[in-house]
Amino acid sequence: MLSARILKDDPIIMLITIIVITYVAVISLGLIYALAKGLVLTNELFYAFILPNSILTCGKSLLEIINYDVGLHVILVGYEVIVKGYLWELITSIFMHANTIHLLVNVIALAIVNYMVSATLNIRYSDVIKVFMLSGFLGNVATALLTPMVASVGASGALFGLLSYGAIREYRETNSYTLMVLLLIIFVISSLPIIGYPNILAHTVGLIVGIILGFKS
């Protein structure tokens, strides 16, 4: 188990922990509700936990059940934010993921960013949290306003904010392009529909926010 000291001293590890706990807690709650209401079969439980964005026998995905039947509204849907005032979706969707593959990709990416940044830069705890949240939030605002009918989840926009922030800081402090090259590679790969349909708008906005904050720090 992670000690409280590690969580306190390493903000990215803390963010990873929150993301994983959020996924497990919300998906588990959805499964309990769906099972109680007969919306998921017993033999679908593991499948629904691993791939909650996939359609079940009832004709809905577990994410849809969580968002609409349970009424948590943790997924970002622009028209809900704009018309219904569900402003919290701009934050909650950062910590939710479409499935375990999506979750693992973002967790591994955060761990890589943590290793790369901590090895060369001395970035304050508060800066990491600020860049992560602001990049994710503004990426979601752009998504809600420009693609209001698209459902979106994930920390990718916030991740690109951290990575571009670290890349700019690395260049300014060491004249190294290592993180910039990594940023370009990850951005290109993540823009491909390999494990779903990436929110390129959120990725781009998060990246721009990180760059701006990197130059301002």
**pLDDT (0 to 100) of residue 159:** 92
Task: For residue 164, give Cα distances in angstroms to 119, 158, 206.
Answer: 16, 10, 8
- Mapped onto helix, strand or coil, the DSSP state of residue 151 is strand
Helix (H) or strand (E) holding 42: none
pTM of the predicted structure, to 2 decimals: 0.90
* Residue 118 structure tokens: 């901590």
Q: Is the separation of the CB atoms in 139 and 201 below 8 Å?
A: yes
**pLDDT (0 to 100) of residue 119:** 65
Residue 207 amino acid letter: L
Residue 53 Cα to chain centre, angstroms: 15
Q: Is the separation of the CB atoms in 191 and 130 below 8 Å?
A: no
**pLDDT (0 to 100) of residue 75:** 96
- Mapped onto helix, strand or coil, the DSSP state of residue 110 is helix
**pLDDT (0 to 100) of residue 100:** 95
pLDDT tens figures, 37-91: 999 999 999 999 999 999 999 999 999 999 999 999 999 999 999 999 999 999 9
Q: Which residues pair with 11 in a beta bridge?
A: none
* Cα 89 from Cα 83, distance rounded (Å): 13
**pLDDT (0 to 100) of residue 62:** 97
**pLDDT (0 to 100) of residue 46:** 94
* Cα 164 from Cα 204, distance rounded (Å): 10
Q: Please state the length of the chain.
A: 217
Report domain extents, the chain.
4-216
Please give the class, per CATH, of domain 4-216.
mainly alpha
- Residue from 30, 10, 4, 2 nearest 132 by CA: 10
**pLDDT (0 to 100) of residue 5:** 45
Q: Which regions in the chain score pLDDT beneath 70?
A: 1-9, 119-120, 193-196
